[in-house]
Amino acid sequence: MKQILLLEDDEGLNRGISLKLKKEGYQVFSAFTIKEAEEFLEQESIDLLISDISLPDGNGMDFCRKARQYSNLYIIFLSALDQEVDIVNGYDCGADDYMTKPFSLLVLISKVNACMRRASVKQEGQLLISQDIQVQRNTMQVYQKGESVILSKKELQLLIYLMENAGRIVTKEQILEHVWDMDGQFVEENTVTVNISRLKSKLQTKAIENVRGLGYLWTEKVRKE
């Protein structure tokens, strides 16, 4: 059974989300403070963290950064902070998705299910190599010039999808379908653009080209080992 850690200090909202997730078949650990969440993270094998940002004993983004140091779990932020800079900062600290309050519980469940489907897919264990970038899919690790590069799971999936389609233009709709596992109905309009920008910045690469009006293209050759 997949395990979810829910960090939300609003007791009513925490209870409502928890009950719905349990009905979906997930095991849910509810935390109301970062301290409680840290204990669950140390004691349990958590697959997905759903976290608020403004919490009684700290900042959810700081907790996310800490969790990223020793765990490869998925992370979804739920926050009333709805400015573009807040959303970008959320992705920057390692989140895989970001939802602003108020939000649809059905949309949250859809996003959770998509994350869990991704978590259940076995990686093929192939090494993707393009110039100085190496992607080890079975260990979810990326290296550039021999140095480890920290990417969120969505950034990693986006990178793999672009590299697997090297030399071929992929549209925004195709990216949403294959990376977010959705048709785009519940995804922020600038989600793909923001993640492409973050990926290019972290890798400092010109291999990702924006083909105006068509989509995105990985311009360098890719080999598999």
The confidence score (pLDDT) of residue 121 equals: 55
**57 and 93 inside one domain:** yes
pLDDT digits (tens, 9 = 90+) for 86-131: 899 888 888 889 999 899 999 999 999 988 887 665 444 468 899 9
**22 and 103 inside one domain:** yes
Q: Whole-angstrom Cα distance, residue 186 to residue 108?
A: 9
The confidence score (pLDDT) of residue 123 equals: 42
Average pLDDT over residues 185-214: 86
Average pLDDT over residues 194-209: 93
The whole domain housing 167 covers 127-224
Domain final residue pick, 77, 99, 120? 120
**57 and 109 inside one domain:** yes
**10 and 108 inside one domain:** yes
Answer yes or no: is pLDDT of 62 > 70.
yes
Cβ(149)–Cβ(163) below 8 Å: no
Q: What is the domain count for the chain?
A: 2
Answer yes or no: is pLDDT of 81 > 80.
yes
**177 and 150 inside one domain:** yes
pLDDT digits (tens, 9 = 90+) for 127-180: 889 999 999 876 778 999 888 999 988 899 999 999 989 999 999 989 988 888
Q: Whole-angstrom Cα distance, residue 71 to residue 3?
A: 14
**62 and 149 inside one domain:** no
